[in-house]
Structure 1
Amino acid sequence: MERTRIPSLNWLRVFEAAARTESFARAAVELSMSAPAVSQQVKALEAHLGAELFTRHAHAVRLTEAGRAYLPSVQMSLVSLETSTAGLFGRGREERLYVQAVHIFAQGVLAPLYSDFTTRHPGIKLVLTTGNAVGDFTHAFSDLKIIFGAPSAFGPAHDRLIGETLYPVARPEIAASIRTPADLLSHPLLEVATHRAGWPHVFESLRILGAGARFLMVDSTVMAAALAGQGAGVALARAPASDPIMAAQGLVPCLPGVGVMGLEYYHLVYPDPGTLRRPARAFRAWLMERMRTFDGPGAQV
């Protein structure tokens, strides 16, 4: 009789924690195990499946293609089992909630508000992951997604959160040399390739020609801020989500009082309100409440 291909539940729990934290040591702490025990459990799962799920490095592990493809199904199965158990036999000490957000929103908005959510909902363990490219969100499991731009590509239901205001920022010595909008053209301009609203949109709003502008293309506002913090050029702040990031890099406005409204918004995306699990409903209600009072452009009032 052919043996079942369904792995041990404990193996799957260990695999999920190791994959999410990208560390056997961090997974061990989370699961109250030793790192060697985590490694042993992962090896047992790999032997059972006949495939390597991780590539091992000195201080971290990385998912293989097979591991990356397997992770969403494992997470979905664990959540389904957790939900069924809580519904039939009462709630456990905590319920896990998976939220995926674009990096700038996670770092600039959710991180400062994290303790507020966990204080209000101590029975929910928030698992927050980030992404930047479209593929990061279309091939990963999550209860809720927070994306920037057109929400319909990521789910059938969505809530609009906040917008953004663009303004140029740089290191203080560079910002001090920029007295008029035209002075911006004397410096390399860090442009995020994935945004509809960038330097051309700012030039149009400020009524200056962009001819002769020197663009340095990057893939995210976080990277633009990091380079601007090293004096590589002038970046565009995307307030309010980018406020903590810009401050951490020591960047200041180049033209105080200048701000240009962006063209897109952040959205909370999910399959359908009626199918949301209890922790997802709680997070949605909490986030919408916080965004109504959030001091930023496009916030709901």
Structure 2
Amino acid sequence: MSTRIPSLNWLRVFEAAARTESFARAAEQLHMSPAAVSQQVKSLEERVGAPLFVRGAHAVKLTEAGRAYLAPVQQSLMTLEEATEGLFGQSREQGLYVHCVLIFAHGILTRGLGDFEAANPGLSVVLNTGNSAVDFQQGYSDLKIIFGNPHAFGAESDRIMGEWLFPVAPPDVAAQIKQPGDLLSHPLIEVGTHRSGWRQMLEEVKVRPGSGRMVFADSSVMAMAMARAGRGIALARAPASDSEMTGAGLVPCLEGVRVRGSQAYHLVYDDLRALRPPAKKFRDWLLNWVSAQGWD
């Protein structure tokens, strides 16, 4: 079966030439001759069927196609480098690569990660954050911490904790909310990617949402920022959003009113038995630590 995937050497040469805007400087970095760099770039251009550089007397510049191609090439090379180092490099036993949903990293992991690293001297946690499914498909990771359906991200998983929802706003706005129906006097900031949201909240407090106006955010972090700026009332997702709520100067609108969310955070991996030692230590610590905090 034929393939259009170019030689890895060609891609390395292309990336160096694009980054330095010079075949000569790329040759120095790669310990090659400028003629060899030029030839490998030419071979790559023939393979993809498009010019990638505009050649000058002393420098080269990317074409439009070259600029579009550079970002995925750099991402792919970085992914290979991270995976190789994580699985086979000198730091293999002491490097732990975790991909984590943003609000959990900010609101939960930052509270305890220092204790984990202190209890495991020499073990370094490399933490990458994201929100969308695409974010979690990029780069190498030992473990993923996701929100929602774990089966979309790995073969095996552990439930870490759920969430509680309640409306929050700046103090002057929260003071105007005397009863649940008052919520509809303000825009309601909805995170569209969450199954649990304002509809569930309003049903719980027996308010019909018909006259409410929704504005949308792509994450709970953004929803809190919008509420702080006076764009409307956000939903806290405790305890993960506690620090974001406090940092934004928001307070609960209806004291004591909260709803159990229908989704949860999960620790995801492909095979428990195949986890590297640092990942096993982190898994055991995280599940025990969250349980000790009384979060469920």
Classify 1:232/1:46 alpha carbon distance in 2 versus 1 (closer, same or farther; 3 Å).
Answer: farther
Classify 1:137/1:42 alpha carbon distance in 2 versus 1 (closer, same or farther; 3 Å).
Answer: farther
Larger Rg: 2
Seq. identity, %: 43
Equivalent in the alignment of 1:44: 29
Equivalent in the alignment of 2:204: 205
Q: Report which stretch shifted further, 220-229 or 70-79.
A: 70-79
CA distance in 2 between counterparts of 1:268 and 1:281 reads: 12
CA distance in 2 between counterparts of 1:214 and 1:148 reads: 26
Establish whether residue 260 from structure 1 lines up as the match of residue 259 from structure 2: yes
CA distance in 2 between counterparts of 1:166 and 1:42 reads: 57
Classify 1:42/1:277 alpha carbon distance in 2 versus 1 (closer, same or farther; 3 Å).
Answer: farther
Equivalent in the alignment of 2:175: 176
Equivalent in the alignment of 2:9: 5
User: Which 4+ residue blocks in structure 1 deviate beyond 3 angstroms?
Assistant: 3-8, 40-43, 45-52
Equivalent in the alignment of 2:144: 145
SS in 1 for 2:210: coil
Whether the aligned pair in 2 keeps the contact of 1:240 and 1:295 (CA below 8 Å) is no
SS in 2 for 1:64: helix
Equivalent in the alignment of 2:87: 80
Equivalent in the alignment of 2:193: 194
CA distance in 2 between counterparts of 1:66 and 1:4 reads: 10
CA distance in 1 between counterparts of 2:133 and 2:205 reads: 31
Which residue identity lines up with residue 181 of structure 1 in the other structure? P
CA distance in 1 between counterparts of 2:160 and 2:187 reads: 32
Whether the aligned pair in 1 keeps the contact of 2:160 and 2:264 (CA below 8 Å) is yes
Which residue identity lines up with residue 5 of structure 1 in the other structure? N
State the 1:274 CA deviation: 1.2
Counterparts of 1:62-73 in structure 2 under 5 Å? 64-73=71-80
Q: What TM-score do you get using the length of structure 2 for normalisation?
A: 0.77
State the 1:205 CA deviation: 1.2
Classify 1:167/1:143 alpha carbon distance in 2 versus 1 (closer, same or farther; 3 Å).
Answer: same
Q: Report which stretch shifted further, 287-296 or 210-219.
A: 287-296
Q: Report which stretch shifted further, 260-269 or 66-75.
A: 66-75
**CA offsets 1:128-172 (integer angstroms, 9 cap, x no match):** 010101111123321100000010010001000000000000000
Consecutive unaligned residues of structure 1, counting only runs of 5 or more, are 9-14, 16-39, 56-62
Classify 1:271/1:227 alpha carbon distance in 2 versus 1 (closer, same or farther; 3 Å).
Answer: same
State the 1:44 CA deviation: 2.9
CA distance in 2 between counterparts of 1:78 and 1:6 reads: 21
Classify 1:45/1:260 alpha carbon distance in 2 versus 1 (closer, same or farther; 3 Å).
Answer: farther
CA distance in 2 between counterparts of 1:75 and 1:261 reads: 38
Count of aligned residue pairs for this structure pair: 249
State the 1:42 CA deviation: 12
Which residue identity lines up with residue 188 of structure 2 in the other structure? L
Counterparts of 1:1-301 in structure 2 under 5 Å? 5=9, 44=29, 64-82=71-89, 95-296=94-295, 299=296
SS in 2 for 1:211: helix
State the 1:235 CA deviation: 0.2
State the 1:7 CA deviation: 10
SS in 2 for 1:142: coil
Which residue identity lines up with residue 74 of structure 2 in the other structure? G
Whether the aligned pair in 2 keeps the contact of 1:147 and 1:268 (CA below 8 Å) is yes
CA distance in 2 between counterparts of 1:75 and 1:277 reads: 15
State the 1:110 CA deviation: 0.5
Whether the aligned pair in 2 keeps the contact of 1:7 and 1:45 (CA below 8 Å) is no
**CA offsets 1:53-74 (integer angstroms, 9 cap, x no match):** xx9xxxxxxx812112222221
Q: What TM-score do you get using the length of structure 1 for normalisation?
A: 0.76
State the 1:281 CA deviation: 0.8
Consecutive unaligned residues of structure 2, counting only runs of 5 or more, are 1-6, 17-24, 45-51, 53-61, 63-69
